[in-house]
């Protein structure tokens, strides 16, 4: 079963020239409770990014364009550049901003609950090249840090893929597992559905994820080892 969240239906907040779109937000769909939010933010030069309100969540940040400077505890300070992914856990007294005086930054943030309850504090940044992510799924975060990925405390695997037009991508899903797909840029077809930039989709009770790129595209996919029990009808809040 595939449940779509179109780009135009995303929750959008504009404040002090900053734009934040939430593809996934609390109570968006049954079964995905471990995924807290998936946000896209467009940040003007010198501006800060709004802090996520979930102190018990683990946050994976992908800098798609520009850079994002971090300062606070844990992790001291540093800068995450375009093409890099950052993991932060147990956020306290932190701030993030666009350090550039002229260039805008575009970032994606995925926040998830820990599989083991209390999070251990920490911060980690890694670069995954275009070559690593081109044509195939590249795991960029996992519980065991496999293949050099960020080590997370959530029971999920986060993948990135950059697809040439016409490329077919397939990824098998284990029983009781599920996934959340976000189209960073481009256009892909999944079954009978065509998804374009900013679209998201929840994938449940499927044997595999199967995509065909209609254009040069980039996607993020969060695969959950086991979806939580559903308690109501699937559907996305407007």
Q: What is the pLDDT of residues 184-232, one digit of tens each?
A: 999 999 999 999 999 999 898 899 999 999 999 999 999 987 765 543 3
The span from the CA of 31 to the CA of 180, in Å, is 11
Backbone angles phi and psi of 82, in degrees to 5:
-55, 135
Closest residue by Cα to residue 153 from 182, 111, 125, 181: 111
All residues at 6 or more sequence positions from 175 whose CB lies less than 8 Å from its CB, including other chains: none
Instruction: With a cut of 80, say whether residue 15 has pLDDT above it.
Output: no
**pLDDT tens sequence across 22-65:** 876 544 455 566 787 899 999 999 998 866 555 677 889 999 99
Give the whole-angstrom CA distance, residue 167 versus residue 102.
36
35 neighbors 24 (Cβ within 8 angstroms):
yes
Residue 21 CB: number of other CB atoms within 10 A? 17
Q: In terms of DSSP H, where are the helices of 44-102?
A: none
**Residue 32 or 142, more confident:** 142
20: which 2 tokens? 């934040």
Is the Cβ–Cβ distance between 135 and 160 less than 8 Å? no
* pTM for the model: 0.87
Cα separation, 43 vs 53, whole angstroms: 18
- What is the structure's pLDDT at 123? 84
The CA-based dihedral angle spanning residues 138, 5, 16, 85, taken in that order and rounded to the nearest 10 degrees: -10
Poorest-pLDDT segment among 30-34, 65-69, 134-138: 30-34
Cα 139 to Cα 148: distance, rounded to the nearest angstrom: 9
> pLDDT at position 230, please?
45
2-224 homologous superfamily: Jelly Rolls (2.60.120.10)
pLDDT exceeds 50 at position 4:
yes
pLDDT band at 6 (very low <50, low <70, confident <90, very high): very high
User: CA-to-CA distance for 108 and 65, rounded, in angstroms?
Assistant: 10
- High-pLDDT (> 90) share of the chain, %: 54
Helix count (H) and strand count (E) of the chain? 1, 21
């Amino acid at each position: 079963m595939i449940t779509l969240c179109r780009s135009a239906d995303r929750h959008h907040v504009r404040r002090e020239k900053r734009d934040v779109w939430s593809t996934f937000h609390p109570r968006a769909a049954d079964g995905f409770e471990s995924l807290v939010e998936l946000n896209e933010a467009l940040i003007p030069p010198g501006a800060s990014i709004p802090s996520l309100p979930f102190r018990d969540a683990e946050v994976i940040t992908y800098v798609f364009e520009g850079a994002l400077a971090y300062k606070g505890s844990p992790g001291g300070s540093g800068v995450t550049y375009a093409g890099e992914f950052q993991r932060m856990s147990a956020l306290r007294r932190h701030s993030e901003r666009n350090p550039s005086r002229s260039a805008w930054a575009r970032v994606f943030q995925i926040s998830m609950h820990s599989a083991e309850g209390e999070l251990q504090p920490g911060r980690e940044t890694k670069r995954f090249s275009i070559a690593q992510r081109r044509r195939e799924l590249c795991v960029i975060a996992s519980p065991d840090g496999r293949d050099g990925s960020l080590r997370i405390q959530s029971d999920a695997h986060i993948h990135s893929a950059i697809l040439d037009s016409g490329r077919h991508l397939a990824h098998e899903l284990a029983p009781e597992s599920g996934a959340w797909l976000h189209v960073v840029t481009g256009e892909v077809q999944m079954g009978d559905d065509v998804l374009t930039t900013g679209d998201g989709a929840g994938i449940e009770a499927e044997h595999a994820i199967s995509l065909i790129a209609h254009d040069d595209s980039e996607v993020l996919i969060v695969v959950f080892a086991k979806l939580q029990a559903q308690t109501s009808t699937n559907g996305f809040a407007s």
